[in-house]
């Protein structure tokens, strides 16, 4: 996939949000140069839940190591910005400015640069505060909506880091489009807190429409009578029945003919009113069936269903294995791992791995050599003029 061929991105980032933005652009065909500190990005060595961050979000990039506190390192960074289309950074407020590489500095070096700041908060009273994915989830109401009352629970993945990066990429792509028309650069900012607020906007709207606060998801009143997780004989499965046509097909498939003929259950509201009658009966029927048998019957009817899986199960999923996984080599061990591809198809094609996960500074020599050649060519051109 070469949608962004010819676009050069310089990534000053670590952890999840900035690397995700860089990875998306790289998967779409941009040349992404990741700048790491001496010793390499510390995200490479995170333990526990952070152990997969680097492997997941840093494919298709070149890696160079620069000591940004040295004059040589800073000069190289400036040279990289001069020849770039996009800069991505996700450090604490003021960190890049102290290095002389903030948005205004980058614009002075390259007036057409598109500078993306991955932030905790956009402009406003909180903008100087430090934030993390979990901070935003707690402040923004997502943790409240995920756990039961009194037990806020962060989502089970770095959803806000990733969503914040995605919004940043949307801004970058829009700025690239404008640059193509006008030659203007831009300072694009996306933030964790505002991304969280956007995600829970549906619940804010629910409160505005109904006058009632949205209850946490574990305590919500379902909009449909059948929309739940059920115990099968050998596992768990989610089943949803969300239209009148689906209801009739469901009743026919599972032998609930009386329900299908009952006028009181013909509408969704009527079925929700009889949920206390419907759900226990379904639990009894489903509990006697295997998940495979349930999947087969629900699939024949065309109903929405989902066996409950763990993340490690997805590497063996027949659908993902067919076209949704990419193989990467872990730099430290040489182990091959299969991880999700960018969830986009363009003209029926998925993004591929052009560059495997890089070792720290693997491309430093080549990138710096190219910078030197470019500087020499520029000097020779100026002398000739």
CATH for 260:
3.30.1540.10
What's the pLDDT at 138?
Answer: 98
| 20: nearest Cα among 164, 193, 155, 174 | 164
Does residue 359 sit within a domain?
A: yes
Percentage of residues of the chain with pLDDT beyond 90: 95
Residues 95 and 184 placed together within one structural domain of the fold: yes
First and final C-alpha spacing in the chain: 39
Does residue 16 sit within a domain?
A: yes
Residues 152 and 266 placed together within one structural domain of the fold: no
| 191: nearest Cα among 163, 229, 218, 222 | 163
pTM to 2 decimal places:
0.94
What's the pLDDT at 204?
Answer: 97
Residues 29 and 117 placed together within one structural domain of the fold: yes
What phi and psi values does residue 126 have, to the nearest 5 degrees? Answer: -95, 0
Helices 192-199, 201-210: inter-axial angle, 10-degree rounding: 40
Residues 122 and 268 placed together within one structural domain of the fold: no
- Residues 239/226, Cβ–Cβ less than 8 Å: yes
Does residue 60 sit within a domain?
A: yes
Does residue 329 sit within a domain?
A: no
Residues 303 and 178 placed together within one structural domain of the fold: no
Residues 191 and 243 placed together within one structural domain of the fold: no
Over residues 129-176, the pLDDT tens digits come to: 999 999 999 999 999 999 999 999 999 999 999 999 999 999 999 999
What's the pLDDT at 376?
Answer: 80
Q: Can you read off the two tokens belonging to residue 120?
A: 């905790």
Over residues 225-234, the pLDDT tens digits come to: 999 999 999 9
- Residues 305/30, Cβ–Cβ less than 8 Å: no
Q: Can you read off the two tokens belonging to residue 240?
A: 């949803």
What phi and psi values does residue 33 have, to the nearest 5 degrees? Answer: -110, 115
What's the pLDDT at 124?
Answer: 97
Does residue 66 sit within a domain?
A: yes
Residues 187 and 81 placed together within one structural domain of the fold: yes
Does residue 343 sit within a domain?
A: no
Q: What CATH number does the domain containing 55 carry?
A: 3.40.50.10540
Domain span including residue 268: 220-311
Please state the rounded mean pLDDT for residues 311-327: 96
Pick the last residue of a domain from 311, 341, 370: 311
∠ Cα 81 86 87 (to 5°): 65
Over residues 9-46, the pLDDT tens digits come to: 999 999 999 999 999 999 999 999 999 999 999 999 99
Over residues 348-377, the pLDDT tens digits come to: 999 999 999 999 999 999 999 999 888 787
Residues 168 and 233 placed together within one structural domain of the fold: no
Does residue 185 sit within a domain?
A: yes
| 162: nearest Cα among 15, 337, 361, 273 | 15
Residues 194 and 284 placed together within one structural domain of the fold: no
Over residues 52-110, the pLDDT tens digits come to: 999 999 999 999 999 999 999 999 999 999 999 999 999 999 999 999 999 999 999 99
Does residue 296 sit within a domain?
A: yes
Residues 45 and 192 placed together within one structural domain of the fold: yes
What's the pLDDT at 385?
Answer: 67
> Cβ of 108: how many Cβ atoms within 10 Å?
13
Residues 24 and 124 placed together within one structural domain of the fold: yes
What's the pLDDT at 191?
Answer: 98
Pick the last residue of a domain from 311, 345, 375: 311
- Residues 325/297, Cβ–Cβ less than 8 Å: no
- In the block, tokens 């970058």 appear at 172
Residues 225 and 128 placed together within one structural domain of the fold: no
| Number of domains, the chain | 2
305 forms bridges with which residues in the sheet?
Answer: 239
């Amino acid at each position: 996939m070469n949608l962004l061929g010819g676009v050069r991105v310089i990534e000053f980032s670590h952890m999840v949000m900035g690397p995700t933005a860089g990875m998306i652009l790289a998967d779409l065909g941009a040349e992404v140069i990741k700048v790491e500190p001496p010793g390499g990005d510390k995200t490479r060595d995170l333990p526990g839940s952070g152990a997969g961050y680097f492997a997941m979000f840093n494919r298709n990039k070149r890696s160079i190591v620069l000591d940004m506190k040295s004059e040589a390192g800073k000069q190289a960074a400036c040279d990289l910005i001069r020849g770039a289309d996009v800069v991505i950074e996700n450090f604490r407020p003021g960190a890049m400015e102290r290095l002389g590489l903030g948005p205004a500095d980058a614009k002075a070096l390259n007036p057409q640069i598109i500078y993306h700041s991955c932030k905790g908060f956009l402009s406003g009273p909180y903008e100087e505060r430090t934030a993390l994915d979990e901070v935003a989830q707690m402040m923004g109401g997502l943790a409240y909506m995920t756990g039961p009352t009194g037990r806020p629970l962060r989502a089970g993945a770095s959803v806000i880091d990733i969503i914040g990066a995605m919004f940043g990429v949307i801004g970058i792509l829009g700025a690239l489009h404008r640059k193509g028309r006008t030659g203007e650069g831009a300072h694009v900012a996306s933030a964790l807190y505002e991304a969280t607020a956007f995600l829970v906007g549906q619940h804010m709207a629910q409160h505005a429409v109904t006058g009632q606060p949205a209850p946490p998801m574990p305590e919500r009143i379902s909009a449909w009578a059948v929309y739940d997780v059920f115990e099968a004989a050998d596992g768990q499965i989610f089943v949803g029945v969300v239209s009148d046509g689906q209801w009739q097909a469901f009743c026919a498939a599972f032998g609930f003919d009386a329900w299908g003929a009952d006028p009181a259950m013909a509408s969704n509201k009527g079925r929700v009113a009889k949920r206390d009658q419907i759900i226990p009966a379904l639990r009894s029927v489903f509990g006697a069936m295997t998940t495979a048998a349930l999947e087969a019957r629900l699939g024949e009817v065309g109903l929405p269903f989902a066996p409950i899986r763990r993340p490690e199960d997805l590497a063996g999923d027949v659908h993902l294995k067919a076209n949704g996984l990419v193989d990467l080599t872990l730099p430290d061990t040489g182990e091959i791992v299969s991880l999700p591809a960018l969830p986009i198809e363009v003209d029926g094609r998925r993004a591929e791995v052009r560059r495997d996960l890089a070792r720290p500074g693997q491309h430093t020599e080549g990138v710096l050599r190219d910078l030197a050649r470019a500087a020499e060519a520029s000097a020779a051109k100026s002398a000739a003029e």
